């Protein structure tokens, strides 16, 4: 199973939401049924930390709303089959909904 996760920040971020997202991504990567996790961060502020080997962290999408939407769309189009879409922050729901509509 492959997962696509939209995050406000995680690796390269500080604070409670970033920490929650790091825990979420690590847990997904360790889950037995998950082969690959693609995470798209909205913001990367600090240096990157060590990440799980089956996590693909698309930092090119960080740096602005348009870049995030475009990067999310590209990841969804060019990724292998996505079985699970997770949106980790309410402000990213419009992008997740847009991806879901195109997913059908």
Domain range list for the chain = 2-103
The answer on pLDDT for 12 being more than 80 is yes
Residue 27 has pLDDT above 60, yes or no: yes
- Mean pLDDT of the residues in the chain: 88
Mean pLDDT computed over 52-64:
88
Write down the pTM of the prediction. 0.88
Q: Average pLDDT for residues 85-89, to the nearest whole number?
A: 91
Nearest to 84 by CA among 48, 33, 47: 33
Q: Is the pLDDT of residue 97 over 70?
A: yes
Which residues partner with 103 through β-bridges?
Answer: none
CATH topology of domain 2-103: Rossmann fold (3.40.50)
Half-sphere exposure in the Cβ direction for 62 (13 Å, CA):
18
The rounded distance, in Å, linking the Cα atoms of 28 and 35 is 9
Q: pLDDT grade, residue 103 (50/70/90)?
A: low
């Amino acid at each position: 199973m492959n997962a696509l996760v939209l995050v406000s920040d995680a690796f390269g971020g500080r604070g409670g939401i970033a920490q929650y997202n790091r825990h979420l991504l690590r847990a997904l990567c360790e889950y037995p049924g998950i082969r690959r996790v693609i995470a798209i961060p909205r913001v990367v502020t600090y240096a990157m930390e060590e990440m799980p080997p089956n996590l693909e962290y698309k930092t090119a999408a960080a740096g602005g709303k348009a870049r995030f939407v475009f990067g999310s769309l590209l990841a969804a189009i060019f990724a292998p089959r996505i079985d699970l879409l997770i949106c980790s922050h309410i402000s990213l729901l419009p992008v997740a909904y847009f991806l879901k509509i195109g997913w059908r």
